[in-house]
Chain A
Amino acid sequence: MTWLVPLPVVMPLLGAALTLLLARRARAQRWVSIIVLTATVAVAAMLLVRSSLDGPLVVEVGGWAAPMGIVLVADQLAALMLVVSASVTLCVLVYSIGQGMADGNEETPLSVYHPTYLVLTAGVCNAFLSGDLFNLYVGFEILLVASYVLLTLGSTETRIRAGTTYVVVSLLSSLIFLVAIGLVYSATGTLNLAQLADRLDALPDDIRLVLQGMLLLAFGIKAAVFPLSAWLPDSYPTAPAPVTAVFAGLLTKVGVYAIIRTETLLFPGGRTADLLMVIAALTMVVGILGAVAQSDIKRLLSFTLVSHIGYMLFGVGLTTPLGLSAAIFYVVHHITIQTTLFLAAGLVERRGGSTALDRLGGLARLSPMLAVLFFVPALNLAGIPPFSGFLGKLGLVQAGVDDGGFLAWSLVAGGLLTSLLTLYAIARVWNLAFWRAPHADMPEPGDADRAARTDGAEQPHDGPAPAGAVLPRLMTVSTAALVVLGLALTVVAGPLFDISTDAADDLLRRAPYVEAVFPEGPP
C-alpha cells in the first residue's frame, strides 16, 4: 500500500499543471480541481486506515535508500492531518467555485486561482508527509509561495499592503528555517528526521538547545505564536473569503504540526516545555484580548485563531501522552471550525455587504440559514458542551490538572479564561450582527442583482462582495457541509480521541517512526 503515500503530493501538482493548461476553460478547471481534491481525500482516508492498522508507511522517493534519498512517512499523525486538511480544502474549493459562479466571472483573469490552490494543497500535504528536514522546508516554500499569490489575488491596494507584510515576515521565517537546517546538517551530517532523532541525542546540550531554539523560532512565526503573531490579523482578513478560510484552517496548523514533530521526534525530553507553556498562555490571553477589541468579524476571527493556537501549544508543552493527544484532537477540531467560521463570515459579507459590526444587524431575521451556519461553529469554537471544542478543551484541562505543576495550573486557568472571553467575543458578534434590529440601510436580497441590471455595471469579481446578494446555493451548501463535519467530530469524538491517543503514544515513544524508516536501526 506504500504507493499511496506520494499521491497526496503528486495528484494536486499534476492537477495544477492540468488546470493551468485549461486556463481558458473555467468549467473544465473546476471539474479537474474537484476530482483531484476528492481523490486526495480518499487517498488520505486510506492512508489513515493503513497507518492505524500496520504502523507508519514509508516511501523512499525515487528508490534512493533512506539516509541519502528523501523519505515520505505517513504515520498516524500525518495521515490524520492529511484527512482533515484535504476535506477542508475540498469544501473551501466548492465554496469558492460557488462564489465565482455567482459573481459570473467565467472569463476573468482569475484562471490562476485553481492551479495556485492545488499547489497550496500539494505543499501542505508535502509538509505533513515529509520525513526529511529539507523536504519539510520545500513543502513550506511550496505552500507559502502559493499563499503569496492567493493573498494578493487581484492586487488591489489593501491586498498589496497586507501582502507585503505577510511576504516579508514569511520570507524571514523561511530564512531562519534554512539557517537552522544548515546548522543541523553541519552538526549531525544528516537531515533525515529518523536519523536525526538518533544523532541529535549524541550532541552536547548547548548545541541541541540552539538548534531547537532556531527551529522553534521558524515554526513559531508560521504558527503565529504570540510574540511572533502580529502579522496574522493584519494580513489574513484582506484576502477573499475562501482564501482567508483555507489559510486560517491550514497554514498555521502546518506550523503547529512542525512544532509537534520537533518537540517529540527530534528533541524529546521537554527542555523547552516550560518556555512553550509560558508562550502558550501568552498566546491564548493576548490573542483573545485582541479579539475582544475588534469591530470587524474577519479581524476578530483572526485574533481568535491566534489565541487558540495557544491551546495546541499547551498540550505540546505538557509532554504527557494525554496532553499531546488532546493537542492533536484540538488541531483537528480547530482546522475545521476556524475554516467554517471564516466561510460563514464570507457569507455575512455577501448578505450584509460588510463584516464591520457597526454596519450589520438583524441577520438572524433576514437570513435564518446564515444565522445557524454561524451560530453552531461559533459555540463550538467557544467550547460549549457537547461540541468538539468542549471535548478538546476538557482533554487539555484534564492533562493540565494531572500534571499539577504551577505552570500547568496557570495554563488551565488561562485556558478557561480564554474560553470564556471567546464566548464573549462571539456573543458580541451574535448580538450586533444577528440579533439586534436590522439597519434601515441593510440591503435586501437581490438588491445587487437589480442594481447591476439597471446600471449595466460590471460586477467586481473579487472586491467587496455585492451587498445584498442572494446567498448562492453552492456556497451555503459547502459551508453547511463543514458545519456538519464539525458536528461529526463531536459524534465520532471517541474513536477520534483513540486515534489521537495512539498517534501521541507513537510520537512520544519515537521508536515506531524510526523503525519504520530504518528497519535495521539508523546507520
Chain B
Amino acid sequence: MKKSIISMFAIAATTSLMVSCGGPSSKSNNGAIAGNAAEKVYVAPGEHDSHYAFISGGFSGQLSVYGLPSGRLFRVIPVFSQDPEKGYGYSEETKPMLMTSHGFIPWGDSHHPDISQTEGSVDGRWVFINENNTPRIARISLKTFETEEIIEIPNSAGNHSSSYVTENSEYVVAGTRFAVPFPQRDMPIDEMKGNFKGALSFLSIDKETGHMDIAWQIKMPGFDYDKCHPGRGESSDWFFFTTYNTEEANTLMEVNASQNDKDFIAAINWKKIEEYVANGGGTKTPARYAHNTWDDDAHTATTKWENEVLVVDPSEIPGAFYMLPTAKSPHGCDVDPSGEYIVGSGKLAATMTIHSFSKMIKAIENKAFDGDAYGIPIIKFEEVNYGTLEQPGLGPLHTEFDTRGNAYTTFFISSEVVKWNIKDLKVIDRHPVYYSVGHLMIPGGNSRTPDDKYLVAMNKITKDRYLPTGPEVCQSAQLFDISGEKMELLLDFPTIGEPHYAAGIAAEKIEGNTTKIFKLKENTHPYRVTNEAETKVVREGNNVHIYMSMIRSHFSPDNIEGVKVGDKVYFHVTNLEQDYDVPHGISMIGANTSELLIMPGRTTTFTWEPKAVGVWPFYCTDFCSALHQEMQGYVRVSAKDSNTPLKYTLDGDVPGEDEEL
C-alpha cells in the first residue's frame, strides 16, 4: 500500500510538472466558437445529414445512429442488451441472439464499432462491434440496421482489443484485455505468471453474407491486450495490438501493472498465420461457444453451438510475431492511412511513441532484437521507433488521421484534442474538450481514405455542460470542423451510455440501400400468415398458438375464446402491411414480456400465460393510423377445468370461412 501511495504522488507530481511546462492553459468553457458554427451544423427541416455516425452505446450494450453534422439521434440499434421498445431479446425470435455459453445474458458492454471495408475504404455494408464483458462480436446490417449475428469468443475475457476489420474485411479481430487460464481451469490466482494466456482471435468474414467464423485463435503470452488496429497499404498483412501488464500482475493492477517503463505493441503478420493454417497448422481444441445468427426471411434467430477452435501457438510460426517496445501501458494503437506509422498512446507516459513500419521490416531483416517475450522476439526500440512526440499533453489515448499528414490525439487527463504532424512530430493545434475525452472519430478514420471534414470527440464526463439531471448526467460527443489549420468546435450533443469509439461514413454509401419493408411472399416464418384468411388459433395441449395478422387498423382474429388459466399462449403476429414506415405493435395486459414492434411483412412472437379468468384486451402500441385507437381485441380466459370451446373470430366470422375476408 505504501508503495502505491508513493506512486500516486509521483503521478500527481508529473502531472503538475506537465501542466507547468506546455500543457494546456485553462481557457473559457465555450472554447473558441466561431460565429458561423451554427450554420455549419444546421441541417434544415427535411434535409439530410451528410454523414452517419455509429456511436457505441458503451454500458447500454447498444449502438446508436446519429447524423453529422447535426448531432441528431436517429435510432438506437439493440445489439447486446434487451430492448423492450423493439421487443429485442424479449420476442421468441430474438431471444437466441443473446444466448451464450453462460446462458441467456440480457446485457452487454459494447465498445468499438468498425465499418466493413473494401480496398481500404469503408463500404457501408456492415458495422461490427465488440462486447467487452462476455466476449462477443456482433455484426449489424446497414440495410436493416439490425443485429444479424453475434458470435461468442471462447478463452477470452474482457474483449477489448476488438472489433477492427482488415482493409478488405477479410477478418475482424477479438483480443482479450484480461489474461486468463487458456483453457479455463481451477488454479490459484497468484500462479498467474506464465500460466495465464492472452487469446487473440481472428474471425473470417464471408464476402457475400458477412457471416463470421473464428478462423483461428492465437495463444499469446499472458499480457493484457488493450487496443489494436490493422495495417494498411504496405503493412496490410499485419495487425498491431497494444499490451499492458507485461508485468503479469494479478492484484492492485493500477500500481503493479504500471511498473515497466515500456510495454509492447505486438505486431502480428496475419497473412503468415493464414498460410500456416491453410497448410494444416494449428491445433483443434475443444471450446463451447454460441454462434447466433438472424435470418431475415424466417425473421428468426438461431443459436448454433460451436465445439472447437483452432489454436495457434506463436512459437510455431517464426516470422509472424514481434514485440515493439512502447511507452508506457499504451492504450490506443493506431495506424495512419499510409500504413507506415504506428502510434502507441502510452497513457501513463509523458511522450507518445511512433513506430515506423518500414524500420520494423528492416529491423526484422537485420535481426535487431533485444531478447524475447515468451519466445516472441523483441525488436530494439531505436530500430523500430520513428520518433516520439514530446510532452503533447497528458494521458494520450487514441489517435485518428486526416489525409493531409496530420494526426489527432485525445488526452484524457488534460481533456483536449491535439493536432500534430506525423512527419515532423510537431504539435499544430490543441483544443480543450469537456471533459475527459476517450475516443475520437473521423469518418473513415480506420481506413486508407479518411473523410476528413469532421472529427467527433467522445467525452466520459460532462459535469456542467448540460442542464443537470440529478446525479447521473449524460456523456457526450463534441463535433469539430477539421478542414482548416485550426480545429473548430461546432457542437455538443449527448450520447447513449458511454461512447467508446464510433464509426462514421458518408451517407451516400448507405442511404440508397436500406430496407424499407420485408416482402410477405419471402416470409418463411413457420407461424406466418400471408392474408387474413390464414389466421387461426390452434391448441396443442396447454399451448395455444394464435396465428394473428395486423393491418390498418385491426387484428385478425380479434375475439378469441377458449383460452384457460394455465395455458401458455403464443401470439405469432404478422404485419400484413407492405408499405414503408407502417409498423404495428402489440401488447397484452399482464404478459410478462415487452411489447412487440413489428415491421411490415415480419412475423414476431410473444408469449402470455394468463393467471386469472376474465376478458383481457390487447392493443396496437404504435400509432399506425387514424384508427389506431380502435386497433384492439379481446381474449376470454376461462377456468382451468372449464369447457369453453376454442373460438376465434373477426367481425363475427371465422377468418377464412367467409369469402369476403
A and B from one assembly? no
A residues sitting closer than 8 Å to B (CB atoms) are none
- Give chain B's interface residues, CB within 8 Å of chain A: none
